[in-house]
Structures are given as structure tokens and as C-alpha cells.
Amino acid sequence: MNKLDKINISCKSSYLEQRSDKSKHLYFFVYNIQILNESVKAYQLLSRYWEITDSNQNKQIIKGDGVVGEQPIIEPKQKFSYNSFCPLKTQFGTMKGYYIFRENSSGDEYKVKIPEFVLTVPNSIN
């Protein structure tokens, strides 16, 4: 699997207080992913792999086809963004992983790292 430097991924997360239930140790977070194709070739996002770690060091692995039910083709100089959510049993955690992309004309596949980002309840960390 080749490395692909022309795909840039940025991540942002927010706490969803209205979906969370502190009495049951259930904390919901929404995250936004932006994928920017800075190359001159089109790429299709085939699959995802996520490693979600809570503050007790419990890890959950999520993998599957596409994202939010899609396997988007991202044209040159275009971006694709989506929102999803993550429940945690602690007020703090992290997410990281990678996507597998296929270059449309050659069929070559590439692994692109998703930078690690934090899931945290506001004011929960001093």
C-alpha cells in the first residue's frame, strides 16, 4: 500500500450535551472531517479504520466501507466533508485512524492517516 501526500485531512469535534447522560457514563461527541484532494488526480474513498480510546485506555476499533454510507470520489482540487458521532463512557478520549483511497485512473490503493484528535467535555480537564 502506497502513501499518498496529496490528500489532507482535518478533524474537529464537539460535545453533544443534549444526547449525553452523565448518570449512565455516556458522553456523545460529534466530529467533522474535511478531506481535501490537492492532487491532479481523482481518488475514491473506499474504507475507514478508526481507533477510539477513552480515558480509561479502553480501545474500540471501527472499520468498514466508506463513510456515512458513501464511497465518495473526490475530484482534483475538491473537498469532501462529513459529520458523524462517537459515544464514549468517559469525559475524555481520542480518535485516530486511516482511510483507504483508490486512484481512479490506475486503480492503485493508498492508505492516508487520519490525524489524532481529542474528544472532551468542556471544562472536564484542568
DSSP state string for 16-30: EEEEEEGGGTEEEEE
Amino acid in position 120: T
Q: How many CB atoms are located within 10 Å of the residue 110 CB?
A: 19
DSSP state string for 23-54: GGTEEEEEEEEEEEE-SSS-EEEEEEEEEEEE
- Listed by start position, the domains of the chain span 2-120
CB 114 within 8 A of CB 33: yes
Residue 2: the pLDDT is 55
* Digitized pLDDT (tens) for each residue of the chain, 126 residues in all: 555 679 999 999 999 999 999 999 999 999 999 999 999 999 999 999 999 999 999 999 999 999 999 999 999 999 999 999 999 999 999 999 999 999 988 999 999 999 999 999 998 665
- b/e map of 15-50 (b: 16 or more CB within 10 Å)? beeeebeeeeeebbbebebebbbebeebbebebbeb
Report the CATH architecture of 2-120: Sandwich (2.60)
Residue 72: the pLDDT is 97
Residue 46: the pLDDT is 98
Q: pTM, whole model, 2 decimals?
A: 0.91
CB 69 within 8 A of CB 47: no
What is d(CA 24, CA 36) in angstroms, rounded to the nearest whole number? 38
